[in-house]
Amino acid sequence: MPGNDIAVVVPVLREADNVASLIAELHQHLGAYDWEVVFVDDDSDDGTADVVRSHARTDERVRLVLRVHERGLATAGIAGMLTTKSRWIVLMDGDGQHDPRYIPDLVRPLARDEADIVSAARAVALVNEAVLNVRRRHLSALANRLASLFLRRQIADPMSGFFAISVHGFHSSVRRLSSGGFKLLLDFLVSNPAMRHREIPFDFRERRSGDSKLDLANAWQLLCFLISKMLGGVFPPTFVSFLLVGASGVLVHFAVLYPAIWSAVPFAAAQLSAALIASAWNFGLNNSLTFRDRRLTGWRVLPGFAKYLGIASVGIAANVAVAMTMFNESRGFVALSALAGISVDAVWKYFMSSLLVWRN
């Protein structure tokens, strides 16, 4: 079996039209190496897996890892890396924006034992707008500034998704990576500061087909990832996101609660109304941000929301009961009573929602 030198791991989602051209380019630029390419497909609905299989039947260098119950770019990359036997592992996107001609340049410092991980750095400000539109350019620049600040060292492109890592560097770091992490390069650098890192410049190409998957939710993921790392990795990024969404729900809760009380609505009724509205708010944000890799779309939103309300109803009942108890014992202290109810509600919703609504 080929692949003793280089394994190129390519996470894909709806990239059926880009598979053939990428394989052809790998053959063109990696002739001096014993290589393989591992496509990790998150059960795309455009036939990506079938296209990869058809190439694998006639090309022994092509392999497929199909994931049917998991989602996420970082976890897909790790899954593919764990299947390889190569000395060096390259991670790249499958949309054509990462040019395979740079792979030898990425691998060369690893082969000379001058680095443990080598990344391809974009000059984001200089990328043509046809390749990286204004929104993506600003998002990338912001993410790079945040990541560099967190790493406490200047890195041209810490958010790059195109890098090579030695097999030793990978296996010495993989168990330290964040569960549900954001960008693997950043995760490696944060999780294992002892890794020797180098960068090479590269030209960011225009994607061949398909849609960009970079949006504001990626910036949210980065924020939650960095907070998780600041807390020592005790809380995974999804839990951090759930807490932040819950914090915004607290604001919604009080925005409903106090006007209701000022309007002479009984406290129990006001608390119940506020809890219901805040639950709907939290469901929407968690579906878009926290559980983005398991996001409910189309018709699945309605039964998902129904399940969430069923789970929330138990939490709301506990919320109101605890809040009323605290309200009576604290002689009408509204804020403390409401927060006590909210905390019980939030813990219940997180664990049960992870199990029943946004399952892997």
Whether the model pTM is above 0.85: no
**What one-character-per-residue DSSP string does 33-53 give?**
S-EEEEEEE---TTSHHHHHH
Mean pLDDT (whole number) for 253-260 = 93
CA distance 308 to 287: 11
For residues 338-353, average pLDDT: 76
- Res 132: pLDDT: 47
pLDDT at 120: 95
Per-residue pLDDT tens digits for 5-34: 999 999 999 999 999 999 999 999 999 999
Burial code (b: 16+ CB inside 10 Å, e: under 16) for 107-139 equals: bbbbbeeebbbbbbbbebeebeeeebeeebbeb
pLDDT at 127 over 50: no
* 122: its two tokens: 């974009």
pLDDT digits (tens, 9 = 90+) for 29-66: 999 999 999 999 999 999 999 999 999 999 999 999 99
Query: What domains can be seen in the chain, in order of their start residue?
Result: 6-230 (3.90.550.10), 237-356 (no CATH)
Predicted local distance difference test score (pLDDT) of residue 311: 87
CA–CA separation, 353 and 312 (whole Å): 9
pLDDT per residue over 231-253, tens digit each? 887 888 888 899 899 889 889 99
Contact 39, 94 (CB under 8 A): yes
Please write the tens of the pLDDT for every residue from 212-222.
555 567 778 88
What mean pLDDT value characterizes the chain? 85
Structure confidence by residue, pLDDT tens digits, 261-282: 999 899 889 988 898 888 889 8
pLDDT (tens digit, 9 = 90+) per residue, 298-343?
888 889 988 988 887 777 676 677 767 776 776 556 666 677 666 7
More confident residue, 159 or 55: 55
Q: Which residue type is seen at 49?
A: A
pLDDT score of 225 = 85
Alpha helices in 152-212 (DSSP H): 167-173, 184-191
